[in-house]
Chain A
Amino acid sequence: MTPALAPTDAAAQRSVIDGRADRGFRWLVTAAGVFVLLSLLGAAFSMFWGGREAFATFGLKFLYTDVWDPVNHQFGALVPIYGTLVTALIAMLIAVPVSFGIALFLTEVAPPWLRTPVGSAIELLAGIPSIIYGMWGLFVFVPVMGTHIIPFLSAHLGNLPLVGTLFSGPPLGIGMLTAGIVLAIMVIPFIASVMREVFLTVPTRLKESAYALGSSTWEVAWDIVLPYTRSAVIGGVFLGLGRALGETMAVTFVLGNAHQLTASLLMPGNSIAATIANEFTEADSEIYLSSLVALGFLLFIVTFIVLAIAKLMLMRLARREGQA
């Protein structure tokens, strides 16, 4: 009797221990999840608190006025918000197609011996500090923009209706277009390496079936690989977008840091992160400092809104897919 009971006892005891360990583990991972949430809320709240004086003084005007006058203590965030959005948009317009091309090349087209070295090269690019991109941008890329690309753009696009205003102005070399291009080069490694990883997860038999039905490489990529990996690809694009919105050092070097609102992409502008980095050390009045912290809070909000819009688009896309 007793020998028969012993194993049951042991099993019961074990299940108790297991249950305890399970609960412990559950608490541990929940704490990790809550920690992220708390630090996010904490960061948002402390920035809002730091910026409360600016919000109280200028109210909603802080969002849509373009004045930035430290002498008379008048601040408005329109120019930095505009510059942040425009440079990030230019960056994504360039980076997404190029990254898609890189990832496709690496997974579908390149000979196998080339895939590993090019793949590692992209990951190495992702590890370069942003100040290096900034200095490269200022000392190498800006002269090229100023002497070749911008004169070409103003000559050929500057006189067109509507588009012309985007490409008019003196060939400074620095400005929102240059900043957007440097940002694109910086985010390409992030987006491309994510895309490459997820493209590799597409089952070979799906692709081979399509090839067997007579599809071209492009058709396989567009109709099989991309739909299969869509949400992960968009995740990679978000990652790049987040970096483009918040990038500081490289942008500061090539953006021109001028608090002026211009329609032309060739003219200097300012971004939220660059403004904070530039002016924080010498912000010598309370309201100045508060306005800079308020800018930080706005960057938070801008990033949140942009990501929310992207998420909404994704849901729309999924619903349409379901109907079709």
Chain B
Amino acid sequence: MTLSTTLRAAAFGLATLAGASAAQAADITGAGSTFVYPILSKWSADYSTKTGNKINYQSIGSGGGIAQIKAGTVDFGASDKPLNSDELAQAGLGQFPVVIGGVVPVVNVKGVEAGKIAFTGPLLADIFMGKIKKWNDPAIAAVNAGLTLPEGNITVVHRSDGSGTSFNFTNYLSKVSPEWKEKIGEGTAVQWPAGVGGKGNEGVAAYVKQITGSIGYVELSYALQNKMAYGAMQNAAGKSVQPSLKSFQAAAASADWKNAKDFNLVVTNAPGDESWPITASVFVMMYKQPKDAARSKAALDFFKWSLENGQKQAEELDYVPLPVDLVQQIEAYWAAQIKL
């Protein structure tokens, strides 16, 4: 009797102890990109109901995420902009993509419906540089045969805050327009030569909806939710494509991930007939030799589960899940690079 009670108490004590340490190890923390926040919180909620492990993600922006992981205050950082191999090696970090999304041009022009107006990369660069000022400019008409465009002024709407969306958009414009690359360049924030700045995707969407004759760029889900008139794009293969999960996925699949060291690849202007040209991926950064291996392992377990089982949730939220062979490549990278 006494023995069994003592034993039971001891067993109970041990169990609580084990439970407590498991819970501590499993409380994974991450910080960074706001773009990836909706899908990360969906994945972590599902993962938590399945396994009981919680993920605490703070969407403080990509720059903040990189700073936090470098300072070692979080288990993983998330950024819309990949770090190059030198920078990763210096900080002892590894990097891999987790999800893909797309940036679409949106317009507010009388008589133009969603998907009915088309742009080429250089045309978009000229508009955002303020070189093309009117909607009835011959350069716009040239790629929009059959569409009557009004005479009004073009008002450019860009992001006022630093953002991965801006990074991918300006990265694309730099790839297709030498003049853009030389004068403005790429970055989460750049010196915009024209237009007004809205805070966040929702700010740009609100400005475009309110200013007649405006053009902006947002992530696809914002364009769909706000029922905005998005534009089709001519891709690197010279084909006109509509923004959709299918064309984003085609871009992700056609990108040359195999030869990208540490997955340092921005998938804009991807080759392939079906590829959407302004496709963006979100990267996660983790230590290759983490101080607390148990926590990093828990984080990797979470990403493994998400990449293998989270496709449906991603599509529901207008993200593109990574192609299967890319997921395999990422898992091989984990096994080779991250010491647990």
**Interface residues, chain A, with chain B CB atoms under 8 Å away:** 67-72, 138-139, 142-143, 146, 170, 172-174, 252-253, 256-260, 268, 274, 278-279, 281-284, 288
In whole angstroms, what is the CA distance A279 to B60 when docked? Answer: 12
The answer to whether A71 and B190 have CB atoms under 8 Å apart is: yes
Q: Count of chain B residues with Cβ under 8 Å from any Cβ of A?
A: 34
Question: Which residues of chain B have a CB within 8 Å of any CB of chain A?
Answer: 60-64, 66, 153, 155, 160-163, 184-192, 194-199, 203, 206-207, 210-213
Q: Nearest 7 pairs between A and B by C-beta?
A: A282-B162, A257-B160, A257-B197, A281-B61, A69-B191, A256-B196, A71-B185
B161 touches A67 (CB 8 A): no
Shortest CB-to-CB span from B166 to chain A, Å, is: 9
Contacts A173-B211, A174-B210 known; list 18 others, CB within 8 Å.
Answer: A69-B190, A70-B187, A70-B188, A70-B190, A71-B191, A142-B210, A143-B210, A170-B153, A257-B199, A258-B192, A258-B195, A259-B191, A260-B194, A279-B161, A279-B162, A283-B63, A283-B189, A284-B62
B199 with A284: CB separation less than 8 A: no
**A278-B161, A281-B161, A282-B63 are contacts. A258–B191 as well, Cβ < 8 Å?**
no
Distance of A131 from chain B, by nearest CB (Å): 11
Residues of A near B211 (CB, < 8 A) are 146, 172-174
Contacts of B161 in A (CB 8 A): 278-279, 281-282
B63 touches A71 (CB 8 A): no
Are A278 and B61 interface neighbours, CB within 8 A? no
Across the two chains, which residue of chain B brings its CB closest to A282?
B162
Tell which of B163, B184, B194, B195 has the most Cβ of chain A within 10 Å.
B195
Give Cα A70 to B184, complex, Å.
10
**Docked-complex contact A256 and B162, CB < 8 angstroms:** no
A67-B191, A139-B206 given as contacts; is B64 within 8 A of A257 (CB)? Answer: no
Known contacts A282-B161, A282-B163; A172/B155 CB under 8 A: yes
A278 to B61, alpha carbons, bound, how many Å?
A: 11
Q: How many A-B residue pairs have CB under 8 A?
A: 95
Contact B162 A174 (CB under 8 A): no
Q: Which of A69, A72, A258, A284 has the most CB of B within 10 A?
A: A284
For this complex, 26 residue pairs linking A to B, each with C-beta atoms less than 8 Å apart, are: A68-B191, A69-B190, A69-B191, A71-B186, A71-B187, A71-B190, A138-B210, A143-B210, A172-B196, A173-B210, A252-B199, A256-B196, A257-B199, A258-B192, A259-B192, A268-B197, A278-B160, A278-B197, A279-B160, A281-B63, A282-B62, A282-B161, A282-B162, A282-B163, A282-B189, A284-B66
Interface contact A282-B188, CB-CB below 8 Å:
yes
- Set of chain B residues within 8 Å of A139, measured between Cβ atoms: 206
Separation of A257 and B196 alpha carbons in the complex (Å): 6
Name the A residues within 8 Å of B196 (CB-CB): 172, 174, 256-258, 268
B190 touching A146 by the CB < 8 A rule? no
Q: A170-B155, A258-B192, A258-B195 are in contact. Are A284 and B162 (CB under 8 A)?
A: yes
User: A229 CB to closest chain B CB, in angstroms?
Assistant: 40
Q: In chain A, what residue has the closest Cβ to B211?
A: A172
Nearest Cβ in chain A — how far from B169, in angstroms? 13
**Could you tell me the distance between the alpha carbons of A279 and B160 in the complex, rounded to whole angstroms?**
7
Partner pick for B162 among A72, A258, A260, A281, CB 8 A cutoff: A281
Alpha-carbon separation in the docked complex, A153 to B60 (Å): 41
Q: In the bound complex, do residue B199 and residue A279 qualify as a contact, i.e. CB atoms below 8 Å apart? A: no
